[in-house]
Structure 1
Amino acid sequence: MSPSTPSIDLTPLSKAIDALAGALHYWHIEPDDSPRKPHLRAGVIQSFEFTYELSVRLLRRVLMERAASAPAIADLSFNDLLRTAADAALLSEPLGWRRWRDLRNRTSHSYDETQAQEIALAATAFLEDARTLLQRLRSA
């Protein structure tokens, strides 16, 4: 990033991560037999979706800002984006981000109890990856 290039505002991602952490906290502390539990899980899933989408979008923007050819980054496939991000030391586990993409895609196509539970449980691990990404994007 050159000194004349404006930096990307990462505040929305930070807030999304905080919202996901809060949703996970309340979902985890709610008793399993509570009628609120499914609603809290839905909040976790929604926060996961939003945080994932914002993470990938900002990752691409930061890479575009750093690149000699921004259109080349804009046109990268998802897998190539992950490889490029790993090469730039922004991601340490690109395979994990493929899993997050798969889970994100499943939230928009099917909503049954088993999948909802799996996605909500996985959101805790995603949260750690999102926090790591935010830290690395701040250092970029």
Structure 2
Amino acid sequence: MQYLNVDQLRRCMKTLDASLLLYQKAEGDSIEQEVFRNAIIKGYELAQETAFKLLKKALKAFGHGGKKLEATPVKDILRLAAVHDLLTLPEVERWFAYRDNRNNTAHDYGEQFAKETLTLIPAFLQDITTLADVLEQKLGKGAENNGA
């Protein structure tokens, strides 16, 4: 069995958290705050993409085919993750909201979009930390010692 390495996901989380803290410390309507806001949005996108890649790898360990997973919509990947206890149903619902918000980044980088995204970040950081922990516990290097 190939083990999942969640180090990159944890790095994305740390970067996103640090960007949020720096954003909050910057003066309102300053260039610095805008730079950190942009970093948050890009970090949010990168963390999601990294999480979805890891979920696909995890689902392969549960017998799902790689080619089929690549053609599977993200929301269906999230549903499959719940079937295999990688996410809870409330987490899946929140991930749907994160994904819907993420899809809007391709169309709207305006102030309202940024505000909506910023309100999601604290819960997103909690959910992505939980996901990393679950993936590491079930499919990480020490998983065979945890009954996985």
Q: Same fold (TM over 0.5)?
A: yes
Q: How many residues of Structure 1 are paired with residues of Structure 2 in the alignment?
A: 136
Aligned to 1:47: 43
Checking the alignment, whether the CA contact within 8 Å between 2:69 and 2:77 is kept in structure 1 is yes
Identity of aligned residues (%): 28
Q: Note the 1:1-140 alignment, pairs <5 A.
A: 5-67=1-63, 69-92=65-88, 93-140=91-138
Offset of residue 73 of structure 1: 3.9
User: Any stretches of 5+ residues in structure 2 without a counterpart?
Assistant: 139-148
* Aligned CA distance change for structure 1 residues 139 and 113 (closer, same or farther; 3 Å): same
Q: TM-score, normalised by structure 1?
A: 0.87
Alignment deviations for residues 105-137 of structure 1 (CA, whole Å, 9 cap, x no partner): 111221111111211221221111111100110
Offset of residue 35 of structure 1: 3.4
One-letter identity of the residue aligned with 2:132: L
User: Any stretches of 5+ residues in structure 1 without a counterpart?
Assistant: none
* Separation in structure 2 between the aligned mates of residue 139 and residue 50 of structure 1, nearest angstrom: 22
- What root-mean-square deviation, in Å, do the aligned CA atoms of Structure 1 and Structure 2 show? 1.7
* Separation in structure 2 between the aligned mates of residue 110 and residue 33 of structure 1, nearest angstrom: 19
